[in-house]
Amino acid sequence: MLSAKNIFKSYPTPAEPLEVLRDVSLELDAGERLAIVGPSGAGKSTLLQILGTLDAPTSGTVQINQTDPFQLSETELAHFRNRQIGFIFQDHHLLPQLTVLENVLIPALAIGRPSEETIQHATDLLERVGLASRSTHLPGELSGGEKERVAVARALLNRPTLILADEPTGNLDSHTAQAITDLLLKLQAEENAILVTVTHSKDLAAAMGQQKTLLDGRLS
Ligand code: ADP
Ligand code: ADP
């Protein structure tokens, strides 16, 4: 379960603080999907960073599976984030010097040497995203859509409670974008994960579940 209650976020500026989120609340159960739409600068990435435990709110609380991540120590939080949350970004953030399989294994490499079972799981995920034959290739040898598929597989490696997608199809042509959207929805449903997508694309938002709009820092 993901819950955010009365989230406010301000950034300090030389003048008065910039209030980016104003009393944002949401609650999602396992398997639920939420798409947050809003114009550039509305605070979508800020909200996603908070839900992803990468940045603390100025006030308000976040709970993921009954844990308040911002009460954890830094080490505990890094571990918690790695286990509970899968991130998918617009520009996929693959490491160019690692193979496709190694890129999928990054969340496991972060906590030590991956077990045979984890390597098998990564291989299965590559199969499910249609890239089994590319596991030893480098990201530079893949198309944009294929790279995004790798990013989807990587986000799912640790069987996260929560998948956070920030403009996941932003750099793709519409045909490829549709394929990635379908894939993401299929895997999310199979894994019964919560999926939160932020985008300024109304088309993408419409495909990604229940829709809410972020405008002037308020979610409605
Ligand atoms: P970003 O870098 O935040 O993705 P873009 O570079 O895609 O923003 O934005 C390009 C232009 O489109 C900018 O002028 C931006 O303000 C505008 N824009 C972005 N999203 C929307 C939207 N949902 N509605 C109207 N204008 C938008
Ligand atoms: P969106 O993702 O909807 O485009 P953002 O969350 O990136 O919106 O940004 C919302 C507002 O907060 C923008 O005015 C942006 O300039 C500001 N902002 C974002 N991050 C920071 C930061 N680290 N420090 C100061 N201002 C920020």
- Domain that includes residue 174, residue range: 2-219
Determine the Cα–Cα distance for residues 211 and 174; give it in Å rounded to an integer.
20
What is the ipTM for the molecules in this complex?
Answer: 0.67
CATH number at residue 201: 3.40.50.300
**The ligand 1 atom nearest the CA atom of 167:** 4
**CA atoms of 218 and 8, how far apart (whole Å):** 10
Q: Give the separation between CA 60 and CA 46, rounded to whole angstroms.
A: 14
Pocket test for ligand 2, best of 13, 46, 55 (most atoms within 8 A of CB): 46
Q: Is any ligand 2 atom within 6 A of the Cβ of residue 9?
A: no
For the record, the structure tokens of 182 come out as 């379908």
First to last CA, the chain: 20
Ligand 2 binding pocket includes 46 (Cβ within 6 Å): yes
What residues have CB less than 8 Å from 97, skipping those under 6 apart? 138
In this predicted structure, what is the pLDDT of residue 93? Answer: 87
Q: Domains in the chain: how many in total?
A: 1
Counting from 1 in the atom list of ligand 2, the atom nearest the Cα of 214 is 3
Q: What is the pLDDT of residues 2-54, one digit of tens each?
A: 999 999 999 999 999 999 999 999 999 999 999 999 999 999 999 999 999 99
For residue 202 and ligand 1, the question of a CB distance below 6 A is answered with no
pLDDT of residue 171: 82
Q: 199 C-alpha to center of ligand 2: Å?
A: 14
How do residues 171-208 score in pLDDT, each as one tens digit?
889 999 999 999 999 999 999 999 999 998 999 999 99
